[in-house]
Structure 1
Amino acid sequence: MAEMTRLVAPQNLPGLVKAAFDAARVNGDLTYYPTQVVILTPNSIPFQLRFSPALALKPKAPKPKEPHGKPFNPFENPSPAMLIADLPPSHRLVLNKFAVVPEHFILITKEFKPQTHVLESADIAATYACIQAYRTHGHELFAFFNSGPHSGASQPHRHLQLLPVERMRDGLEDVDRGGEWNVLAEKIAEFEKVLPFNIFTASIRPDMTAEERHSAYLELYRSAVKATFLDKEVDSEGEAVISYNFAMTSNSMAICPRTAEGAAIKSKSGQDVGVVSFNGTVLAGTTLVKDQVEWDVLREDPDQLFNILKGIGLPPLADTNG
């Protein structure tokens, strides 16, 4: 079985991604949205807040339908301009068409599989193969997966998203001189007592088999389900019974059960001034706003970010254990 899921990523993957991103950007096949960034420390957790006013102008095109009235699926037959590489036998890598982080790319299943199903061994193996290909070149990747209505998921075709950590640091040179920010999923143990919500984590190692890594993911998923529904039977395949975000780095996996996609941002006078939504990048310790008022309010009142984060998941274990 281990051999069946031995997926290998191209050894020059960082170079392939960069070349594909640069070409697609020059040719107008993707849009890159630059951001401003600050580091907030809600409850002492270093958190990137990014602001992209251009993203608010992103055209909300009506979803094109295919001839039989089926919703358009951008991952079914990706355009050659978006394709980075094949990962035989089951996956391929494509660029993200609307990038906030440069070189943001996506791992998709070749055949349609639902985003709402529990991840399979090949999904985990392919993700880890990409992470290892970056590591070989001295780079780190942050991979995340959004599943369910409260997770920030947008496409029904199964996909995991991959962000080069170096590119996630773009713009931090001026605001993070102390180097406080790091991928949160790697630092959960350090912040366990101050986290706003429950996160389950596991360490992973290069010498694990594909099945051992998949088992570690399933164990985290089971823990997340049990924390959400005490007596729920947990299947290790098929439709997931909770909304959650999953993240993977070279050293760790993390799952955050989700109960809401986001929450309202309020002004000092208590007026709603916007909404901030979160996907799996919350497990990196980053979030994004598109509106100047939201940007101003959260920078002035970082505690509000912590309160918003408290509302999107389960109470942290420290709270529930009294």
Structure 2
Amino acid sequence: MTSSPSTPASSLLELSDRCTLNALAAGTLQPISTEKIVLNDGGFDFSVRWVSSLERKNAARVEAVTRRTPDFNPFLPPEPTLTVAPLGPDHLAVLNKYPVIERHLLIITRHFEAQTAPLKVADFSALAQVMQAHGGLGFYNGGTVAGSSQPHKHLQWVPSTGSLPGFTRTLGADTLIGENPTLPWRHRFVRLEAKVWTASADAGEQLHADFVRACTALEMPFSAEPMPPYNLLLTRDWLLVVPRSQEKIDDISVNALGFAGSLFVRRKEQIEQLRAHGPLALLTAVAQRRP
């Protein structure tokens, strides 16, 4: 890890890839091998991954990811071999120890803040450092009910955006804030201005302001401590906030990635369960049904 207060965003993935190789060699990075199918529901494609039957050791890794131990904090301090780079004075980029998606980064606070604490300008500034150069999908699980397994505040980033662009296709070019009427759960999209992603932009301020707009439209407090459970998703085009009601249905847990069209099940037999129930119904059950 470099000692500079921040890292040029253009070099972050290079540092991440180098860190990945070192962490794999050291055994501290333990990817979870998965198999994948695509389910279509309501005209939307959902990517469904499950633990590979060829590697039973992955079951133990999934258990480690989902087990909640309030007295253990893997981010204070993070493992040195998983630490990629600083992102400003308040955050670090760290590899996800048990990634399902390659180049999965965690953006953690250097000092403890609760995952249920309100998101600040500094949090968005740290995430923007990654997304200004590399796009992808940023997301946040606001508390246990929203799918978070760690109590220490951490945003996340993955290179792919899943089905989120499909969810926004009915939103017109003139829509600044709105909802997709075909989605049965409460949510709010906010269109992001292109200037947010310019090098000179004060991206943290602008993204936080857009987050406040989404929360206000949902009549959800944006500065409460603790915050009510919610998921945040962010591409270069849209910001999405989804209030949550519960973490899982029938032992299928959902985090923010579910609302980008990416679902994960522990066992292959749960796929038929999900196919019968339907991904949209699952998301509606864990979110809040629209009136």
Q: Structure 1: give runs of 5+ residues left out of the alignment.
A: 1-5, 135-139, 166-181, 227-233, 265-274
Q: Does 1:254 align with 2:240?
A: yes
**1:44 shift after superposition:** 1.4
Please point out which of 192, 197, 206 is paired with 2:185.
Answer: 197
Instruction: Give the number of equivalent residue pairs.
Output: 267
Identical pairs, percent = 26
Q: Which residue matches 2:177?
A: none
**1:39 shift after superposition:** 1.0
Q: Does 1:56 align with 2:59?
A: yes
The letter for the 2-side match of 1:245 is N
Structure 2 counterparts to residues 67-216 of structure 1, below 5 A = 71-134=71-134, 140-165=135-160, 183-190=162-169, 192-208=180-196, 209=202, 210-216=204-210
**1:201 shift after superposition:** 0.9
Q: Which residue matches 2:259?
A: 283
**1:278 shift after superposition:** 0.3
Q: Structure 2: give runs of 5+ residues left out of the alignment.
A: 171-179, 197-201
CA contact (8 A) 1:201 1:254 kept: yes
Determine helix, strand or coil for the equivalent of 2:281: helix
Q: Which residue matches 2:268?
A: 292
Distance 1:64 1:241, change over 3 A: closer
Q: Which residue matches 1:33?
A: 32
Q: Partners in 2 of 1:212 and 1:47 — Cα distance?
A: 30
Q: Partners in 2 of 1:144 and 1:130 — Cα distance?
A: 12
**1:206 shift after superposition:** 4.0
Q: For each residue in 1:217-258, what CA deviation from the matched residue of structure 2 results, as whole angstroms up to 9, or x when unmatched? A: 1121223344xxxxxxx3x43414411000111121111100
Please point out which of 189, 193, 212 is paired with 1:218.
Answer: 212
CA contact (8 A) 1:7 1:126 kept: no
Q: Partners in 1 of 2:259 and 2:285 — Cα distance?
A: 15
Distance 1:84 1:314, change over 3 A: same
Q: Partners in 2 of 1:238 and 1:305 — Cα distance?
A: 31
Q: Partners in 2 of 1:59 and 1:127 — Cα distance?
A: 26
Who wins on radius of gyration, i.e. which is larger?
Answer: 1
Structure 2 counterparts to residues 8-27 of structure 1, below 5 A = 9-27=8-26
TM-score, length of structure 2 as denominator length: 0.83
Q: For each residue in 1:151-189, what CA deviation from the matched residue of structure 2 results, as whole angstroms up to 9, or x when unmatched? A: 001111110011111xxxxxxxxxxxxxxxx63333333
Q: Partners in 1 of 2:68 and 2:213 — Cα distance?
A: 39
TM-score, length of structure 1 as denominator length: 0.76
CA contact (8 A) 2:46 2:279 kept: no
